[in-house]
Amino acid sequence: MKKEKYLKYTAEDFILDKAFSVWVLTTDKVNGPFWEKFIREHPEQSDQIKDAKLIIRSLQPIEPEVTEQQLKKILQNIKSRHKTKTLTRYKWGKYAAGIALFIALGGLIWNSVHTKNRFPLEAGNGSSLKGKVILASGATREFDTEQTTIKQSSSGDLTINNDTITIQPEKINLAMNQIIIPYGKHSDIILADGTHIWLNSGSQLSYPARFKTDSREVYLSGEAFFEVKSNPDKPFYVITRDIKIRVTGTCFNVSSYDEDKTTQTVLVKGGITAWKNKLFAKSMVLFPGERLTYTKSNETLSRDKVDVKLYDSWVNGYLIFENVAITDIYRKLERYYNQPVATDEGDEKITFSGKLDLKNNINDVLENISFATSAKHERNESTTLKK
């Protein structure tokens, strides 16, 4: 960019300059250094720039809330209206399933397009007790989540313990595999590049059987801990409904459940960049020990320092909390054990600090919480958690 033309710019000129407004609204990495240098070197323009930034930001409207439910309902109506007019029920069944998954993941699933592909409606189907792999060919495989090792080889083969599933080579480039972990279960997978991913209960991960040449992209709904194999030439992306995370090699935890109010990313080591999964999104760089929180209600990103142990301990079979409302803890336990936990009025005001061993059954775990706090709990044996 040439700086000469900006020397005589008024605030109005700056506001209407696309490069300038993109920088103000997105922390544009490419031109950021240019503007920072320009401001340093031309203090005489600082008033105009200050006004221009203020006006551009003030023009961002306060938006009323539009919920996912509203948007889903409209989609349902489009679907049902269309079904009666042109398409057969059978065709629409497939169509609907594809759409439902899409919204659950909300990401940019693109390479997974395959006519025979069938997608599950929800990751956390409470009735299933087994993990499930859905291959791009449409084939599904269920697996026990206890002591299971899932490995994706670079040739396209998928191994679950000693059971190897071979994918036909001509299909590999399009293929997107999905792993679905029901509530109450957890598992881990090693991808072809050596990246290790631990999936928590009620989570779903989609990844290409073979990564593209210039990037590695996976899609997540739910919670996972990532140990990404470093490869600066092929950045690793985790795409969730609300945020997109870029990594070169690092350890971090992402929690992005549809039913939670926030999406949280905690970095253990390495470095990541994250941004909202939408147009004009600002990116944020995260350092080890930091947490990035995306709040769904007002669509904001914020960053703070946290104790990482509180976020990655589930990988090792326990949970650590520090002054966390027990209602939030109950929600985690419900997912982990796939058992509903009844809450009493006022529970949200009670907080718990300490370590919970997830190898214990849920009654013991709740007992520990009750012991440390004044909360009472009840559990209904007959129902299972519904999403």
- Residues at the interface with other proteins (CB under 8 A): 10-12, 15-16, 21, 25-26, 28-29, 50-51, 54-64, 66, 70-71, 73-75, 77-78, 81-82, 85-86, 94-95, 98-99, 102-103, 106, 108-110, 112-113, 215, 217, 235, 237, 239, 244, 246, 275, 279-281, 283
Our CB check for other proteins shows the closer of 280 and 371 to be 280
CB of 117 to other proteins, least distance (A): 8
Distance CA 374, CA 350 (A): 8
CB of 126 to other proteins, least distance (A): 24
Q: Are 136 and 209 in contact (CB under 8 A)?
A: yes
Our CB check for other proteins shows the closer of 39 and 113 to be 113
Question: Shortest CA distance to 61 belongs to which of 299, 303, 301, 275?
Answer: 299
Structure tokens at 374: 């004044």
CB of 104 to other proteins, least distance (A): 10
Structure tokens at 98: 């594809």
Distance CA 310, CA 22 (A): 37
Distance CA 323, CA 311 (A): 14
Distance CA 348, CA 369 (A): 13
State the sign of the Cα–Cα–Cα–Cα dihedral 317, 209, 257, 92.
negative
Our CB check for other proteins shows the closer of 21 and 313 to be 21
CB of 247 to other proteins, least distance (A): 13
CB of 99 to other proteins, least distance (A): 5
Beta carbons within 8 Å of 348's beta carbon, 6+ residues apart: 325, 326, 327
CB of 102 to other proteins, least distance (A): 4
Q: Are 350 and 373 in contact (CB under 8 A)?
A: yes
CB of 106 to other proteins, least distance (A): 6
Our CB check for other proteins shows the closer of 174 and 190 to be 174
Q: Are 208 and 187 in contact (CB under 8 A)?
A: no
| Token pair 């990751």: residue | 123
Q: Which residues, in sequence order, are bridge partners of residue 318?
A: 357
Distance CA 206, CA 218 (A): 6
Distance CA 53, CA 20 (A): 9
CB of 121 to other proteins, least distance (A): 13
CB of 167 to other proteins, least distance (A): 19
Q: Which residues, in sequence order, are bridge partners of residue 305?
A: 290
Q: Give the side-chain half-sphere CA count within 13 A for 353.
A: 3
Query: Which three-class secondary structure state does DSSP give residue 374?
Result: coil
Our CB check for other proteins shows the closer of 109 and 192 to be 109
| Token pair 């209600």: residue | 297
Our CB check for other proteins shows the closer of 12 and 348 to be 12
Greatest extent of the chain over all pairs of C-alpha atoms, in Å? 73
Our CB check for other proteins shows the closer of 16 and 121 to be 16
DSSP state of 366: H
Our CB check for other proteins shows the closer of 112 and 187 to be 112
Our CB check for other proteins shows the closer of 12 and 144 to be 12
Our CB check for other proteins shows the closer of 31 and 159 to be 31
CB of 334 to other proteins, least distance (A): 27
